[in-house]
Structure 1
């Protein structure tokens, strides 16, 4: 590796020894300097962008490290005619164009046609990247393009982070694309269809309309299509077969017109690849709760109960187990009339998941630690239907209506077998268990909202009403067959043979009224009121099977009804200035809870009143440097599962019981966010600090029976504190054709654990960082190196000997080599994962190596034949480590082994748009829009 770096540096040094520098000064006709103008160097052969800069405060510019050849110098500045000049280097390594004068009137560019915007533009809170500048391989998808953008990171599982925050939504030309699942866009749309990538914080419809920031933001990416794609057809067809009966197929077809967008997706594979998110599947099977409890080496303060009956995934990037999926859908957007827009989509997916998992967990207790070991085998299948629709209608210039609906339907089957045991500190066996559980069920969720917006004749005076209706209906049936043996004072075995059915119905309806009044001087006052009602009905019937006959088990059964009602009123004041905005306000929320345990006849009635202040401050130092401060408070009520006073015995050695006496948690959150992006140097810095202090925080208490069975129960504790910090800096080194990105992360969570009714403090600290280096040599060779380091420690007040220290690290290397006039592509990727526990002297390293070679065929390289080998070293295990409030856990799961695959990819958009679209302009021409 060291020799390779020396060789790379030597080659790079030779390459830049004869480089050319172009410099000059930019002024207007009066001789006044023009700062921040965009200066571009274009190839004289095809007008493609080679490099760019922005003029300094005195109008000076200097672009270095250019190859000695002819160029076109192009300079743009708002309200001035574009300046174009040919550059022909003679002797020497520097061309000084002197003082250049820009004319205020427009003039023709002659024979020069340039169709590219500046590489990066910053528009207040939006960073816009020119996709044409960030080169990707042939037939790449949007996800590959995003990996090239400064400040954007993409994990192996497709999770996207921009400016240190997770991207929640991706739109195409500002319109919804299959709802709110980012992967459906990033893993199915071709990269060469994208003109611009815009990264911003999407505000709520209410905040956009009223101008009063309500703090609801989603990190969003909008993909702006190239002009010919907006009026044409494009897509990709792919199919592959491999060893060990592996296969994959994918189709993406898109037909866009001026007032209409139609997209069709289809996919099938058994190689653990998802072109979509599986949140619906996980939330129904309980896997999302397992992820919340840990996994992927991420320390979390868990407030929701563990449910071991669901799927377990590694959030660090690799899906555990073996997955087969089939999916397909249609997305349709159309301007029905001049004032009415329709956005709708339907998506279907079927997922079959097989999982082998080994769990080692140390449960910490003042009376002595317990070691829990489990081997389990699971098969989960899920069929999911999702329907999304938005109708936005402008009634007239003063009124508009927006209707949104999201409907999801799930069918799930789960089959699990497991063996587990508990051991004392001295290694003696306390109990063991063999369990088989089978369950199936359905879930229907419908979320609907209607937003009416009205503008008065007086500017700034608005009125809006938002009504929502949400319904969830879940039915689940299952059985458990378990044998538990005890080896303590009450030795013996207990056979559990039960069937159960669970029905949950939730109805939520709410309304929000908001009125804004201008006070003059760009000051505004907003008054708001909201009402929300939430009704939950739970029916759980458990039957013991004796001699084949079911007998009702009243201790595990439950009939439960809860009604939450919320009334909230508030006032917000907003002050707008040219470089900053201030919002301050407060609300008062009154909460009523009425519950009834129908089997016991017990009723529960509580009310809570909370004052919820809010403050926001946004400051723009320049158009490329922003500071944002947010302080807000919130109340989080217990979940329905946390309130149910019923024992969940799906794992006989780890029981869970709800607590109807839980109180809502009250949280104070302070967030400071700073963003700086220099579009001339490509240097960027993003940083944020987040502090959350929670009163009446909800955590899981632990208790142990005489037979060493763990019983978890959610309880309120006085307070918890969470601090998170993130800082990312990225910068290029043009002399080495390289770019660096460095991220530092730190977090501290301090809370209270409750074991056998004894409270003690726990502190969890995480220090880490990410590093990425990218190098590109022309269109021939590129590679990247990366590292993700995480040091995690947990300290327990009741027993220092239980403190934990472990590391979860990953190292990556990727490379692409184009051969024989770019007709062949050789690619490789290496991921090296290491898991280490300093407490238990455990260490495991897992390397994953993938190789492929591609041959481009057909006109315009629209066809690609690829031979690949995945997991060449045949590593077939995944590891996750978790520290929670009272235990340390390590899980090892199965994963895909080595397989070879031959794949054919056909890109429809490379030809004359065979589905009837427009031909792209010849010569790679592009349209330039001045920043």
Structure 2
């Protein structure tokens, strides 16, 4: 069957080739007056018959261009456009000669504005200074496509299986709609819920804050912002979707989103509920309906987030529910409002186990632990963004936010320690129940004032934050120590915990132009004060009163902690068209003070004064390539728990005490990248490297006795480092107008050196991993899509104490994604993963993970019936191995198991000219 499928695809491809006209059209573009070459002019080829795009490119820094490819129609029309210039067009017959050299083409200065607007709108790409603009009409997608489907079609734009977006290798960290946030800049909500048909332009530029854009500063060269502009005729009306599904093992999901656009006014609501570990926003996109949806990140404690928003509070099986609303409007000239409310609630259940093998200078020992948790979490957040433009030189931004969080959790754990002969030396059994309520209020005010025309400005920022939390913990635990001096301790305790944070942060900077709009000196001053109050009162259970009335001093605390930082700095900035340079030097004056009311002898005050450095360099070779370099020197003071000589005896088998003699750590960081996209050859290359070296790194110093009871504190160590590098290459091969192959090659290299101190001996672990990968996507006529990818990881960890424990292994991961549309209304998607890790002990070393979905469109493509199978082979696992400076850990926890689900989704859309309701037709 596999060979038959390949043969059919090849026959169809060869058939397409036989009917096509091969062409190469070249020339040079220059200005008519000065005869200067024009870089980044848009050149595109259209079919005369229906004006559809055949091919496109841009001119290089010398004005040269070349269009190569194949077309099914012999009569085509060439268009050349550039901002500020009249457009050029020419009819070409491809049956006369495959090689057409147009020689030198002179563009006149703009003379007909109306004609310019009409022609410009037809160009697939336009480069405007630092903005890359795509015309959506030029990029064909499937019916009912969303913004994510559109982005995958744009040259240089990559959307990976996790939903992360990159442009020429640079990550996209913000997506706007008509220049405004959509649900707080959440990329997943925007890309997965807005239809492609309402979008007119996709604009890509370096990420900037509103203050930076207003003051004329350059933005973040390593992050990109995508702005989606909506067609004027499609900016008034209603659109949205409704989805629901039910399946085996009592699995379910349901979601809805409704949007109302009325020119500058925008209002949207959404809601969802499911028990398949999904945030609920990907319900309308079939390929993301497998429960590990796009943009979802799972943390070590099991909470998960999408687009920066946190959901849940535990790992394992998560039942979640969400609801939200967003509103945006303009009130008169210069006053914009954006506001959103979001609720997320979850219940998560997890059972996990892990095994660790510790290495001491003179022996080894082992720990085994099992735990189960049940967490309930409710989170409400309100965000408001006000932009007040007093005049063309004065802008005020106000951003208040409020968060209310309520949490309840049950956690049971059992841990045992064994010596190198596998004899149990101690064990710890604990059952806890805790509740907490937390409130957080933050407000940020940015004030920006420009002066004159040379680039001078003054900026001031004030931020305040108030956090309040209170909770109760109930702990019932037993600690048994065996060996020559056995002991046992039983605890039955209640703790009440109250925490409060009051923070104020301010920044002010003044830019002095030395050379107008090119060379500047920025003088800056930053101030920050954090005041934390902690009161934790622990009571032991009194059998006489049958209540928790015996105050336990050892497990209680009452202190106020102040962290005060003052940082004056000066920054030299040089900025021209091709390159940008900046170098900042500052002096950090930091004071840490702790007032301990329960243990006055532990009160302390520490001053830390250090220099900070930050330098960046960026050079843009041409419209296709750029290089970036950054160096920084940071100093990080120890935290309170690391400094305060208070002994935490919560777990008597692992006692932790702070060290008041710690020094601040000093970290040197470097980062560099190079990216290039060749529009003529449709090839992209991105290379990056970075690393850090830390001296006075704060590390653990642990002593372990014969009963494997650990007593830990903190110390400073030098020579801690990490580094990372990688490269990615992609090439788009257009075999003909309906068949394309996108090839991707890449590699990642990671390394680190970690240190901790065991029984007065430095334990050093050095890890190096190399991960080459290869993949491609094959697309034929919107009917067949195949995307295989293979990752191979070589990993080695070396120890200075016992080389016998050195770890060296190779792991494999293969992923294949397929999509077929035969017949036209039936879509079949498959996502197959295979992983092999040969060095996991006690758990599965290899596993297949296969998700499959059938979707059938009905009601003129307005609705879809889906049948999806999650973990079709029932082999899902999350077993993993990690190696640190002094132990190796294998772990495993609860994962979502196989289920089948039948679902239904319906989309509606009434966007049209002047709000006129139009027919629900999604074909284009």
Task: Name the TM tier (shorter chain).
Answer: 0.7 to 0.9
Is 2:373 the counterpart of 1:378?
yes
Equivalent position of 2:670 in the other structure: 670
**Of 848-857 and 164-173, the range deviating more from structure 2:** 164-173
**Of 517-526 and 407-416, the range deviating more from structure 2:** 517-526
Is 2:309 the counterpart of 1:311?
no
Is 2:439 the counterpart of 1:439?
no
Structure 1 CA distance, aligned partners of 2:492 and 2:357?
Answer: 28
Structure 1 CA distance, aligned partners of 2:206 and 2:677?
Answer: 15
Give the conservation status (yes or no) of the 8 Å contact 1:204–1:216.
Answer: no
Equivalent position of 2:491 in the other structure: 496
Structure 1 CA distance, aligned partners of 2:427 and 2:149?
Answer: 48
Equivalent position of 1:629 in the other structure: 629
Cα 1:576/1:448, change in 2 over 3 Å: same
Correspondence for 1:224 among 222, 229, 234: 229
Structure 2 CA distance, aligned partners of 1:332 and 1:251?
Answer: 17
Equivalent position of 2:734 in the other structure: 734
What CA deviation, in whole Å up to 9, does each residue of 1:871-913 have, x standing for no partner? 111224322332233222222122222222222221223x666
Shift in Å, 1:761: 2.8
Cα 1:351/1:47, change in 2 over 3 Å: farther
SS at match of 1:872: coil
Structure 2 CA distance, aligned partners of 1:214 and 1:55?
Answer: 26
Give matches, 1:137-156, under 5 Å. 137-147=142-152, 154=159
Structure 1 CA distance, aligned partners of 2:305 and 2:210?
Answer: 34
Cα 1:213/1:103, change in 2 over 3 Å: closer
Cα 1:118/1:761, change in 2 over 3 Å: farther
SS at match of 1:896: coil
Give the conservation status (yes or no) of the 8 Å contact 2:170–2:223.
Answer: no
Structure 2 CA distance, aligned partners of 1:276 and 1:360?
Answer: 36
Cα 1:754/1:275, change in 2 over 3 Å: farther
Equivalent position of 1:304 in the other structure: none
Cα 1:270/1:192, change in 2 over 3 Å: farther
Equivalent position of 2:510 in the other structure: 515
Equivalent position of 2:339 in the other structure: 344
Cα 1:226/1:209, change in 2 over 3 Å: closer
Structure 2 CA distance, aligned partners of 1:583 and 1:89?
Answer: 51
Equivalent position of 1:687 in the other structure: 687
Is 2:788 the counterpart of 1:785?
yes
Shift in Å, 1:345: 0.9
Equivalent position of 2:253 in the other structure: 248
Is 2:189 the counterpart of 1:184?
yes
Shift in Å, 1:744: 1.5
Give the conservation status (yes or no) of the 8 Å contact 1:233–1:917.
Answer: no
SS at match of 1:311: coil
Structure 2 CA distance, aligned partners of 1:425 and 1:667?
Answer: 38
Cα 1:835/1:116, change in 2 over 3 Å: farther
Structure 2 CA distance, aligned partners of 1:485 and 1:314?
Answer: 39
Query: Which is bigger in relative contact order (C-alpha 8 A, separation at least 6)?
Result: 1
Unaligned stretches of 5+ in structure 1? 278-290, 297-307, 926-931
Shift in Å, 1:518: 1.3
Cα 1:732/1:720, change in 2 over 3 Å: same
TM-score computed with the length of structure 1 as normaliser = 0.87
Is 2:277 the counterpart of 1:272?
yes
Cα 1:647/1:864, change in 2 over 3 Å: farther
Equivalent position of 1:335 in the other structure: 330
Correspondence for 1:51 among 48, 55, 65: 55
Shift in Å, 1:348: 0.5
Give matches, 1:351-362, under 5 Å. 351-362=346-357
Shift in Å, 1:361: 1.8
Equivalent position of 2:813 in the other structure: 810
Structure 2 CA distance, aligned partners of 1:240 and 1:739?
Answer: 34
Shift in Å, 1:379: 1.1
Unaligned stretches of 5+ in structure 2? 283-295
Query: What value does the CA root-mean-square deviation take over the aligned residues?
Result: 3.7
Structure 2 CA distance, aligned partners of 1:574 and 1:875?
Answer: 56
Structure 2 CA distance, aligned partners of 1:61 and 1:313?
Answer: 47
Equivalent position of 2:826 in the other structure: 824
Structure 1 CA distance, aligned partners of 2:468 and 2:40?
Answer: 58
Shift in Å, 1:2: 7.5
Cα 1:535/1:819, change in 2 over 3 Å: same
Shift in Å, 1:119: 4.4
Shift in Å, 1:648: 5.6
Shift in Å, 1:479: 1.6
Structure 1 CA distance, aligned partners of 2:478 and 2:337?
Answer: 56
Give matches, 1:548-567, under 5 Å. 548-550=546-548, 551-567=550-566
Give the number of aligned pairs: 891
Shift in Å, 1:87: 5.8
Equivalent position of 2:850 in the other structure: 849
Correspondence for 2:541 among 528, 542, 545: 545
SS at match of 1:274: coil
Equivalent position of 2:591 in the other structure: 592
**Of 45-54 and 409-418, the range deviating more from structure 2:** 45-54
Shift in Å, 1:322: 0.9
Cα 1:327/1:60, change in 2 over 3 Å: closer
Give the conservation status (yes or no) of the 8 Å contact 2:834–2:847.
Answer: yes
Shift in Å, 1:189: 3.2
Shift in Å, 1:748: 1.9
Correspondence for 1:464 among 459, 463, 472: 459
Structure 2 CA distance, aligned partners of 1:425 and 1:119?
Answer: 68
Equivalent position of 1:283 in the other structure: none
Is 2:63 the counterpart of 1:65?
no
SS at match of 2:554: coil
Structure 2 CA distance, aligned partners of 1:221 and 1:657?
Answer: 48
Structure 2 CA distance, aligned partners of 1:263 and 1:491?
Answer: 64
Structure 2 CA distance, aligned partners of 1:448 and 1:268?
Answer: 31
Give the conservation status (yes or no) of the 8 Å contact 1:835–1:879.
Answer: no
SS at match of 2:362: coil
Give the conservation status (yes or no) of the 8 Å contact 1:788–1:809.
Answer: yes
Shift in Å, 1:63: 2.7
TM-score computed with the length of structure 2 as normaliser = 0.87
Shift in Å, 1:755: 1.7
Give matches, 1:691-770, under 5 Å. 691-711=691-711, 713-735=713-735, 737-770=740-773
Shift in Å, 1:330: 0.9
Equivalent position of 1:836 in the other structure: 838
Shift in Å, 1:680: 3.4
Give matches, 1:647-662, under 5 Å. 656-659=656-659, 661-662=661-662
Structure 1 CA distance, aligned partners of 2:9 and 2:611?
Answer: 62
Equivalent position of 2:290 in the other structure: none
Structure 1 CA distance, aligned partners of 2:65 and 2:732?
Answer: 21
Shift in Å, 1:587: 1.0
Shift in Å, 1:89: 5.7
Structure 2 CA distance, aligned partners of 1:312 and 1:777?
Answer: 40
